[in-house]
Amino acid sequence: MKEVNVSDLIDELTWRGLIKQHTDMDALRRALSEGPLTFYCGFDPTAASLHHGHLVQLIMMRHLQLAGHHPIALVGGATGLIGDPRMTAERQLQDKETVAGWADRLQCQIERFLDFEGENPARMVNNLEWTAPLSAIDLLRDLGKNFRMGTMLAKDAVARRLKSDEGISFTEFSYQILQANDYLQLYRKYGVTLETGGNDQWGNLVGGMDLIRKVEGKDVHVMTTPLITKSDGTKFGKSEGGAIWLDPEMFSPYAFYQFWLNTEDADVVNLLKVFTFLSRGEIEALETETKENPGKRAAQRALAEAVTTLVHGADQTERVKAASTALFGRGDLREVDGKTLVAATVDLPRTQVVLGQTNILHLLVDSGLEKGIGAAKRTVASGGAYLNNEKVEDEGRVITAEDVLPGGVVLFRKGKRQLGVAVTE
């Protein structure tokens, strides 16, 4: 990844669509250009994995680090026990052991995106360190006196919840005090003067900035990234199974790659700006190619490859690409590793195979690719049936152990693109 000139950093982030709200921009520009500053972004362990929304924050942190600034990634071992108020309903509180386990998993994920060595190494912290020893009296006397109820009640999530039938608990209402204290503690301990986060966190970020001004008499900065939307204005980033998780066990690298590959032409250039480190020239060239030859989907392929490599690594990306090619007869299925092959076929029509008994006709019919044995026979006779990418000319062709691919699956196809998968009993 190419380093970003410090003086061009704000312009670069603005062009990429990574800045939504900020405090005094002139002051922030000066702070970024006068020398390395220390900044932080927080990640609460409210699930066992980060998702694509967190990826925007990690990419913002990486841009800032490449420009020479010092990143601190905060995992909210304390705030994760409380829960940031949602717009709709109260969060279900998790037990301490679960939150601690999720915090460890998030830390491992975050470490892949930042450089923890070199001239401006990243640092990992957990806010449980300074929040756990905080007594109720300390919370009320040392922190609570700096917050005004009117300001706290006016925050969007709080205001909406107060108008709802469920209301809001004091537990979630107090979250904004704890997050503000994080900024204060990091300012005192590490000299942090910039907090970044998603735009839904604007009120909490400003709360920390105001707390530092009241307690320390110093001005610091906050900056948010926008909610990523599609060209039609709808929220970006949902699959059929839910969130786009960064954990390969929760959302396979194959599914991850396919998600980005399926981006619409109208959205792909903006997503290249936000989610990749491709240069302006590279992105503009892909934009031109998309307009002139949309069928090649060059921009989508560049996006899928770049983001999958960023999240899962180059080796895993090559495996996914090999699986995508092999599924439709342009590669050797036996060279695809079993885990990737299983992930690649998870959404295909499927059936079971009894080795030595099930034949190609049964596979076509039982999977629903054909309506009956007669239709299946006609498909075989016309040369339209394939087993593991090899044309089947014998309608009685029985499936044997030699046909089983890595991952314990057998792939069959009707025509060029109608795929099915069989698993052994």
Max distance between CA atoms of the chain, in angstroms, equals 84
Annotated binding site for ATP: 238
pLDDT value for 234: 85
Instruction: Measure CA 424 to chain center.
Output: 34
pLDDT digits (tens, 9 = 90+) for 231-240: 888 888 765 5
Annotated binding site for L-tyrosine: 40, 175, 179
Protein fold of 238-344: Tyrosyl-Transfer RNA Synthetase (1.10.240)
pLDDT digits (tens, 9 = 90+) for 48-97: 999 999 999 999 999 999 999 999 999 999 999 998 888 788 888 899 99
Does residue 154 carry a pLDDT above 90? no
Average pLDDT, the chain: 92
pLDDT value for 177: 94
Class of CATH domain 350-424: alpha beta
pLDDT value for 5: 53
For the chain, the C-alpha Rg in angstroms (whole number) is: 26
Assigned architecture for domain 6-225: 3-Layer(aba) Sandwich (3.40)
Q: Tell me which of 81-90, 175-184, 249-258, 317-326 is least confident.
A: 81-90
pLDDT digits (tens, 9 = 90+) for 305-352: 999 999 999 999 999 999 988 887 778 898 898 999 999 998 899 999
Over range 257-267, report the average pLDDT. 94
Over range 269-288, report the average pLDDT. 97
pLDDT value for 2: 46
Does residue 1 carry a pLDDT above 50? no
Does residue 357 carry a pLDDT above 60? yes
> What does the domain layout of the chain look like in residue ranges?
6-225, 238-344, 350-424
pLDDT digits (tens, 9 = 90+) for 400-416: 999 999 999 999 999 98
Annotated binding site: 40, 175, 179, 238
